[in-house]
Amino acid sequence: MKKHDRLHRLSVKLWLFLAAFLVFAFFSNDFGLVDIQKTAVILAAGIDKGEDGYTLTAHIAVPKGSDRSKGGTSSVNIKGRGDTISACISDIYADTGWVPKLVFCDLLLLGEEAVQENSFLVLDYFLRNEQMPDSCQIAVCEGSAEEMLSSASAIDDTSALAIEKLLSDAAEKTGQLTRTTLREFSIGYYGVSESGKMPYLGSKTQSGAESAQGGAQAQDASGGAQSGDEKIYEVRGSALFSQGRMVALLSPDETFAYSLLQGEVRSGTFLAHENGEAVTLYVYKNKGSVSLSLGDVPEAALEVVLRVRVADRDGATDVSDLTSSIPSDALLQDATAVITQAISSLWARIGESECDLFQLRQQLFRHHRGEYELWRERLLSVARPNISVTIRPVE
Amino acid sequence: MKTVSARQLCFFLAFIAPVGKLILMPSQIVFDAKQDLLFSAALSYLLQSVIVFLVLLAAKKDKTLFALLRERLGTVGARVALSLLALFLFLAALLPMLEQKLLVQSVFYDTLPSILAFAPFFLFSAYLCFHPIAHLGRMWDILMPFSAVGFAGLIALSAGAADFGALLPVGASGMGAIARGTLHSLSWFFDSALLLPLLGRIEQTKRLPLKGTLCYLAGGGAVLLVLAVFYGVFSDIALRQLFAFSRISKYFPGVAVLGRIDYFFIFALTLVMAFYCAMPLHAGVECLKQAFGDTPVRAGGYTLAVNGVMFTLSVLLNYHFLRTQTFMTHTAAWIFPLFPALLVFVLLIGRKHEKA
């Protein structure tokens, strides 16, 4: 009996040992140990297309050493060239001996040339890459991505971090940009709408800027500190895509109208007029929807409902005027006209570009399957918009 | 003789069996059936639940599989049938084992780990195989909470990111595509075969076949829910998303602040999967024990041989996974419902052998 008990206890111990060993082997991730001297932790990647193939600019985080007097993040930009994105990555490895690691890459920046033809020639590699997070932000930039990523930010340690702040969740709520992740863009591209959007970024020189907070440490591939003017990055609208190709650029007003229709604006502002005086209205609450219905011809109901208050006027108000933040009926009428105009302009842009920004083909496919083939090709050109804008004051 | 209780059996059917369908099966079905993946998976589940019901009916005879087969086919016939069932179970183990290996290497490691990262599975499996099959019952008791928490956590974190409208329009892929989706998912449905070596060791309670089948269908409901969320999250790129269950929850808004908290649930389900992957090997070894004797030396021999062969296969097939998957899901798919069904029909309606 004692022998049996001993064997049983041994059996349980062996069982626990094996289970622990299995868990250890499966989930240890080699303890996440990364030889930083041999690994390039890519924070952002810029892709440009030229006559001789692709150029991938990897924005790589590097250790700052033991000097604790300097905070912040250091980075270096390494360029790889090749006929495919994979070849560019291999080129970086061959040139530097660093193993590029995409698992922390939060931004893919496409240069203008890269989106003149199917941008999925570029993005496909990242979507298929198991290590690449498909939740990373993607954007198009004016000029080349290499130039933008290599420029020195006036407000942050590195250009990539400054751009990522620009594309933050909070920024999206202002309605001035529409963020897109790799997953969302891919779903749009492979879906029946074959359309998508990305923020369109530009930069402007910040004259007389001091060095960035924490001591900007971005360097080019040769190791030298970057020279030249420091930049401030800005969103200049939204790039529209059809079948992976950039087909139009929405203005900031049209981008704002799109955000309102998505119901995503929570703290945005827009300009209206009252008695010739400019007034900034603050959006407290926003509901928006776009729905397709089929009659003789397809009709798209574009509906926006807003709650606003006056944020600022181009003129001083009396200190005793406690109702100055409540918009008047005349101001609300003008605001309604402004938003309606922006939505009309947005609709016209979509019709011209054949970018199914509102996923109307998807709605047609999902809810009107029988008539999908009939309307699929010409839906965007024949659909009539029915715009409804309701703006109420916050009292 | 130690038996598996009705409660433990229901835990297996409702909580353990579903986890084997969460790695590659979702993207495999999407490849054929697209947004109609739920129909394909439901058909596979219905087909398998019928066989599970029949196996549990056979279990009411309260005799071991070998004893039942010997009554119908004689001793030699029973040994041949059990050997074939063992081969079937080893074949069934191959795809879950290889997909689990890929999952561990791809999801839990940032860089490609050495092949040894998965090797402990075979030590673990060998230890399991050496024990009598009725020990599974206690194991299912322990695994049930891991599975329940894993499923509930993943659904809670991922449902908010899903656009269930992506499942529309219903039936648009057509019956042919739905049938292909069903056919190509059959290689993940071998749960009835796992129960066969347990015959004679299942505690009999009132209406166990019905209760067991309902539990199996309830587990199927949980799988369908995961599939719906999976397609809702990934829509038209779902077929490219291998390791479905490990991907759907990372879009939870809290992940950006707290980090990958969803890994708690993914780890829990992966742990259950490790046990589930070893079960066909355990059941196969049990078949050999019943057919050719279960002395400790023989049991050790079968265990070492089976796990040694599977380890070798996992190494040899390291660079041939797609070909292996295609073979299992296309070429050999029909075997998975047919063989257990055939065996259980022999048990239920076969004429008794003259020498029995």
Q: Interface pTM (ipTM) of the complex?
A: 0.86
* Chain B residue nearest residue A30, CA to CA: B109
Confidence class of residue B242 from pLDDT cuts 50, 70 and 90? confident
Question: Is the predicted pLDDT of residue B219 greater than 50, yes or no?
Answer: yes
Residue B166, min C-alpha distance to chain A (Å):
8
Residues 280-319 of B with CB under 8 A from A: none
CB contact under 8 A, A23 and B271: yes
pLDDT, tens digit, 9 for 90 and up, residues A230-276: 888 999 999 999 999 999 999 999 999 999 999 989 889 999 998 88
Identify whether the C-beta of residue B270 lies closer than 8 Å to the C-beta of residue B57: no
A chain contacts of residue B122, beta-carbon cutoff 8 Å? none
Confidence class of residue A72 from pLDDT cuts 50, 70 and 90? low
Total beta-carbon pairs less than 8 A apart between chain A and chain B: 75
Q: Mean pLDDT for chain A?
A: 84
Question: Is the predicted pLDDT of residue A165 greater than 50, yes or no?
Answer: yes
B240 touches chain A (CB under 8 A): yes
Q: Identify which has the larger pLDDT, B79 or A9.
A: B79
Question: Greatest CA separation found in chain A?
Answer: 100
Nearest to residue B83, comparing CAs of B3, B1, B197, B201?
B197
Q: What mean pLDDT comes out for the span B272-276? A: 94
Question: Is the predicted pLDDT of residue B245 greater than 50, yes or no?
Answer: yes
pLDDT, tens digit, 9 for 90 and up, residues A114-151: 999 899 999 999 998 888 888 899 999 999 999 999 88
- CB contact set of B203 (below 8 Å; sequence gap of 6+): B3, B4, B5, B6, B9
Shortest CB distance from B165 goes to which of A23, A186, A366?
A366
CB contact under 8 A, B113 and A30: yes
Confidence class of residue B180 from pLDDT cuts 50, 70 and 90? very high
Confidence class of residue A209 from pLDDT cuts 50, 70 and 90? low
pLDDT, tens digit, 9 for 90 and up, residues B294-335: 888 898 999 999 999 999 999 899 889 999 999 999 999 999
Q: Mean pLDDT for chain B?
A: 92
Shortest CB distance from A190 goes to which of B117, B127, B237?
B237
With residue A310 as reference, give the H or E element that holds it: strand A298-313
Quick one: tokens of B251? Answer: 């879009």
Shortest CB distance from B124 goes to which of A22, A30, A190?
A22
Residues 12-41 of A with CB under 8 A from B: 14-15, 18-19, 21-27, 29-30, 32, 34
Spell out the domains of chain A, with CATH numbers in brackets. 39-249 (no CATH), 251-393 (3.30.300.210)
Look at residue A34 in the predicted model and tell me its pLDDT.
Answer: 60
- For residue A137, the cross-strand partners are A107, A181
* Chain A residue nearest residue B122, CA to CA: A22
Shortest CB distance from B120 goes to which of A22, A99, A190?
A22
Nearest to residue A106, comparing CAs of B173, B256, B112, B283?
B256
Shortest CB distance from B237 goes to which of A19, A186, A365?
A186
B chain contacts of residue A101, beta-carbon cutoff 8 Å? 110-111
pLDDT, tens digit, 9 for 90 and up, residues A277-321: 899 999 999 999 999 999 888 999 999 999 999 888 877 677 666
CB-based burial label for A2 (10 Å; 0-12, 13-18, 19+): exposed
CB contact under 8 A, B250 and A135: yes
Polymer length in residues for chain B: 356
A130 touches chain B (CB under 8 A): yes
CB contact under 8 A, A191 and B172: no
